Structure 1
């Protein structure tokens, strides 16, 4: 079993992410801990209200949400009863047995896995000690549970049996196929919870992969001056289509204020990951510096290249997205080299064209 623990700033956002998976048939809420009603009576309002009642007791803690995933080997297939027993045992072993929590089973990967939503604020308003939770409590709990339930152990697995932790991607939005607000909510629920974007360039780089863009408007526009933000669907040519949707009316309220807070938080965890991406990019850019050759090579390492060109066809913005670590790398360090190579290729192509043209003219003259 593999466990992953993430700390977040919005429990509602995490619940919305899991519920969006339920909506499209990729997940189901299979249990809850310390809720006043049975599972069959749990609705969205009750799920969120239980956490709100606790988190309001200590509003000085901004990052109060915990999102845990428990991942099993592709060779295992457990009943729902066993999955809930594992989840309950895990929560007890890490000291969260008295906390409210929701358990979702997801079906969007090649292995069984659970998502658990909880908080570390206690019913008296005090915070639990969660420093180094993964090492101090989660790892010992994982090992105990593997023995107790006879699970395939995470350590010592053969390479071909390693877990594939990459979920099936949310589909690209196609304007007119699904109601716009619903389609935008689904993409944002996934992207905003999974990726460590640190600015609008990075955020729009990943959103564009799903035919979506976040816009503040021009500096003199009413939206920009009011600190507003809208999301708009893109067509197959990356052009905005349909009516922009205000961030304030979307499920997760992904407003400018929220994003700016996320930018700050993500910069901290994105720094180390960028080093790894840059090593991969540099390794292949030495072999092939042309962007049309570099991009498909990086794609094999789950790195997407997003480039914007100016009116002259030169690259003026380049971003690398690592889908394994859900992080980003600014490609400015390659721009000069890539554009010089692009210009050289253009010049060579022009010379070849002129040579072919001259040769063709000479042939015509000789025929007369």
Structure 2
């Protein structure tokens, strides 16, 4: 079952979403919403005293992409779902999203009655699943199968015209299953090949300390193309705990020798930076270079698709660090005059990993899957509800504006940053 994000007035009023209907909440019929007015309406139904910490709930209903429902069908479906779940008398808001091929609706509802009691969510997952199956049969909808993650499935770049959330989730899951990395920088290097970026978020929410991850879909230039996704929306495999666990387990599994041998051989014969990148690609290694605004290389990461390892240059040795690679290719005395100032990537490879590579690091975090015929698969009803997300009644994407990005420097980049900072400070000293 899929989880969606709470709906914001920005998402609704800028044509990413449209209000279909409401229940006991103001609706002027325009398809847009005054989020403050809706917020006030919810407050009016809130009891003056309740022990429920999270009085709001969020549900996402996702029919199969082949099922094209009318607005009337979606509205009827949503109301019937809420009635069967026991929320017929509660205020709620139904919003339709059409920003991806899979049209779907979001429902934001109050889950606390006027007597202060919370509507029971006992066995919500199973109740919801059974209700979805009933609605599939009643409305003749297709049962939707969750995409199978198989050992031979290639990892592809995010396609902006498709279901971005599903693509990001699949990329994160497959990268985590197949590759070994030890820092957030190395993790981002492999994700960047497929137009995904990860950022750490640290802060406090409702008085509780929070350490999480947020994922972004990007274009080939690294610009964000969609609303970011909290790790919790993608699955446990994308969480900070899961990724930190992969960092730890990778330490005992990585052998740098095969990668170092290949990079050493190529570095010895490369005519220039472009030749270096091309020859490494012939050996199934991608290199991600990071530049300052002045064109200096301050970060280098090697991605070996044979050994399934991601390694910052400094892990291979000092001669492969960002400083050394910059001197080798960007120093005017050594660089080829035809060498471009900026290396623009690196085409994402179509990887067909061996089973040994795909299962070595995936035993720690089980999915909600069932084995069938030797492959992992799980059935998902056509009308799917990801799991109810009981969030605060702030309909903005929760928490993103409260957090500050955490640090993600590797030693090479940190040393370079500090050196440049010292130079700037030295330049600002008054001269006597």
Q: What's the TM-score bracket when you normalise by the shorter of the two chains?
A: 0.3 to 0.5
- From the two aligned structures, give the one with the greater helix fraction: 1
- Normalising by structure 1, what TM-score? 0.48
